[in-house]
């Protein structure tokens, strides 16, 4: 195999290798009452890597990982990189049928899992002849700790090219079957280094793994601390009170959140938040969906000691833009300007660049881009230009200073009576209505207009749907054709692994 010239190739395993030498006794990972030093992380990942190689895995083989946020996740990721294997993270909320498709499509040979989640993959593993390593209990396969005990402690030092895939992250399947996004060592390592510098995740810092690590952003931000010499403390499952407890207990300094988590924190009430010692927290950064301006204002008022960032990106493109704390008040509604090493274009349907202030589809080019979709060159070609720019299908507006505001997903555009209606504009208006926790606006088929605008809203407890009040509120800022014609109160929004609302699942209530 030809290695990258001009120096040692970038590899996901190298951060742990480096800090196991530099700071072996420093704490790398905290999981409640369990702690792991860099020396322990290095040795245990060596053992797992050697066990997998001894079991017959060859360079480039796929290994599925079905774990929540826990101490073992960084050591599994490091071990796979050390062995030259490719990680296929699985969402613990998958159905058995969904997991079966991913295991088969990816060609995974082994699955490493929390034994309590075995029901998701047990049948598929048996049908496909997969080996399994189970933590906590062993309903399928062998015990994870027994596997580690059998593996040698010496780093196998399998050489990987930095452009090889480190992982295959499956999209959430908003249209059709999920696609396997090939993410290289180079892409992931550079994302980690830039994130550590931007969001304070590195040497001497305490960060929280809050977002699920099976998701692209959750992994990048949860693994970045151990790659760059810091400490990560695991929040095993999202709980707003649990997050506050974690920050206070472990003196967390940096945390990545998504808007729905922020809504959960806000719902606790200011008194609950004020009762906790959160003085260590100095950096908050947000992604997955645009943070409505009223909610962002609440964040800045509630955590005044924090630098607040809002970033924007996708699994395929990595981080594309970032709005830094200095611009939070100056650029409300923006997700910032292009991030490190990133070029962007805003194009119309004919592929021409649009003028500032005009909506267009966003394309980006950077070292963080995917290698393509696994075994799907058609889908890769559909989202990639001849000169290497990739789109995630978002319509944006760029201002005169180069700051980006998301208008909407291209596929979420509603065309009513021949007029374009962007749901996000309506959702932003509804975000300032006190009775609404969150909303999602979609189009429904209409014989007269083609599509008509409807809104699904989650209301505060005890509040009843008042359509007249909602319409009056919308008329303060929206043209008449943008006001929803139908309103549906729902208990919660359907979401994918990254916390984004899956609008295709929003349907009118059945009689």
Ordered per-residue pLDDT tens for the chain, 511 residues: 455 456 789 999 999 999 999 999 999 999 999 999 999 999 999 999 999 999 999 999 999 999 999 999 999 999 999 999 999 999 898 889 889 999 999 999 999 999 999 999 999 999 999 999 999 999 999 999 999 999 999 999 999 999 999 999 998 654 467 899 999 999 999 999 999 999 999 999 999 999 999 988 999 999 999 999 999 999 999 999 999 999 999 999 999 998 888 989 999 999 999 999 999 999 999 986 677 888 899 999 999 999 999 999 989 999 999 999 999 999 998 999 999 999 999 999 899 999 999 999 999 999 999 999 999 999 999 999 999 999 988 889 999 999 999 887 777 878 787 677 878 889 988 989 999 999 999 998 876 777 899 999 999 999 999 999 999 999 898 878 889 999 999 999 988 766 778 888 888 887 5
Domain positions in the chain are 38-184, 329-412, 414-505
DSSP conformational letter for 70? S
Looking at residue 416, its pLDDT comes to: 81
Residues 37, 28 contacting (CB under 8 angstroms): yes
Assign domain 329-412 one CATH number from 3.40.50.1240, 2.30.38.10, 2.40.10.350, 2.160.10.10. Answer: 2.30.38.10
Helices 185-199 and 216-227 cross at an angle (nearest 10°) of 70
- Sheet with 343-347, side-by-side order of all strands: 343-347, 360-365, 390-398, 404-409
Looking at residue 174, its pLDDT comes to: 45
Alpha helix segments (H runs only) across 200-292: 216-227, 240-250, 259-268, 270-274
Nearest to 41 by CA among 142, 133, 209, 155: 155
Spatial separation of the C-alpha atoms in residues 424 and 406, rounded to whole Å: 8
Burial class, 497, CB count within 10 angstroms (exposed 0-12 / middle 13-18 / buried 19+): buried
Looking at residue 246, its pLDDT comes to: 98
Note whether 38-184 and 329-412 share their fold: no
Concatenating the DSSP letter of every residue in 146-194 gives HHHHHS-SS-------TTSEEEEEEP--SSSS--EEEEEHHHHHHHHHH
Fold topology of 38-184: Rossmann fold (3.40.50)
Q: Two tokens at 482? A: 């943008």
Fold topology of 414-505: GMP Synthetase; Chain A, domain 3 (3.30.300)
Residues 334, 328 contacting (CB under 8 angstroms): no
DSSP conformational letter for 201? -
Spatial separation of the C-alpha atoms in residues 181 and 105, rounded to whole Å: 12
- Sheet with 486-489, side-by-side order of all strands: 436-446, 450-459, 486-489
- The H or E element containing residue 379 is helix 377-382
pTM of the model: 0.85
Alpha-carbon separation of residue 108 from 37, 61, 121, 124, 143 (angstroms): 30, 7, 12, 11, 19
Q: Could you identify the residue written with the tokens 């065309």? A: 415
Helices 38-54 and 72-82 cross at an angle (nearest 10°) of 50
**What does the radius of gyration of the chain's CA atoms come to, in whole angstroms?**
23
Residues 187, 369 contacting (CB under 8 angstroms): yes
Residues 90, 114 contacting (CB under 8 angstroms): no
Looking at residue 192, its pLDDT comes to: 98
Residues 234, 249 contacting (CB under 8 angstroms): no
Three-class secondary structure of residue 362 per DSSP: strand
């Amino acid at each position: 195999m030809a290695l990258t010239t001009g120096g040692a190739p970038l590899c996901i395993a190298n951060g742990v290798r480096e800090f196991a030498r530099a700071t072996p006794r420093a704490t790398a990972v905290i999981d409640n009452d369990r702690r792991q030093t860099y020396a322990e992380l290095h040795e245990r990942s060596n053992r797992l890597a050697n066990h997998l190689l001894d079991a017959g895995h060859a360079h480039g083989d796929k290994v599925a990982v079905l774990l929540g946020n826990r101490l073992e996740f960084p050591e599994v990721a490091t071990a796979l990189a050390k062995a030259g294997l490719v990680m296929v993270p699985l969402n613990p909320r998958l159905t058995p049928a969904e997991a079966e498709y991913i295991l088969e499509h990816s060609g995974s040979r082994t699955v490493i899992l929390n034994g309590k989640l075995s029901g998701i993959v047990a049948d598929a593993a048996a049908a496909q002849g997969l080996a399994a390593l189970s933590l906590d209990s062993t309903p399928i396969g062998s015990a994870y700790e027994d596997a580690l005990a059998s593996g040698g402690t010496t780093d196998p030092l399998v050489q990987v090219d930095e452009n090889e895939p480190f992982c295959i992250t499956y999209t959430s399947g908003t249209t059709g079957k999920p696609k396997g996004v090939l993410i290289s060592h180079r892409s992931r390592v550079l994302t980690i280094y830039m994130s550590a510098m931007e969001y304070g995740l590195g040497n001497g810092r305490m960060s929280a793994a809050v977002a699920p690590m099976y998701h692209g952003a959750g992994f990048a931000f949860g693994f970045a601390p151990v790659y760059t010499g810091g400490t990560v403390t695991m929040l095993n499952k999202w709980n707003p009170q649990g997050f506050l407890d974690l920050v206070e207990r472990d003196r967390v300094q940096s945390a990545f959140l998504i808007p729905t988590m922020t809504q959960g924190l806000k719902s606790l009430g200011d008194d609950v938040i004020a009762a906790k010692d959160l003085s260590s927290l100095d950096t908050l950064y947000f992604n997955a969906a645009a943070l409505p301006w009223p909610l962002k204002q609440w964040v800045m008022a509630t955590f005044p000691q924090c630098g607040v960032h809002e970033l924007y990106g996708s699994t395929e493109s990595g981080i594309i833009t970032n709005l830094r704390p200095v611009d939070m008040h100056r650029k409300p509604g923006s997700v910032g300007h292009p991030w490190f090493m990133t070029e962007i274009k805003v194009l119309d349907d004919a592929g021409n660049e649009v003028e500032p202030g005009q909506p267009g589809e966003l394309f980006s080019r950077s070292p963080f881009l995917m290698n393509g979709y696994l075994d799907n060159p058609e889908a890769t070609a559909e989202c990639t230009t001849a000169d290497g720019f990739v789109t995630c299908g978002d319509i944006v507006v760029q201002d005169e200073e180069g700051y980006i505001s998301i208008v909407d997903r291209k596929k979420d555009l509603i065309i009513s009576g021949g007029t374009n209606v962007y749901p996000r504009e309506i959702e932003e208006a509804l975000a300032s209505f006190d009775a609404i926790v969150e909303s999602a606006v979609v189009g429904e088929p209409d014989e007269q207009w083609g599509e008509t605008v409807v809104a699904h809203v989650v209301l505060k407890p005890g509040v009843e749907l008042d359509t007249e009040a909602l319409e009056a509120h919308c008329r303060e800022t929206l043209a008449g054709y943008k006001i929803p014609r139908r309103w549906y109160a729902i208990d919660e929004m359907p979401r994918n692994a990254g916390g984004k609302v899956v609008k295709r699942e929003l349907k009118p209530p059945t009689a």
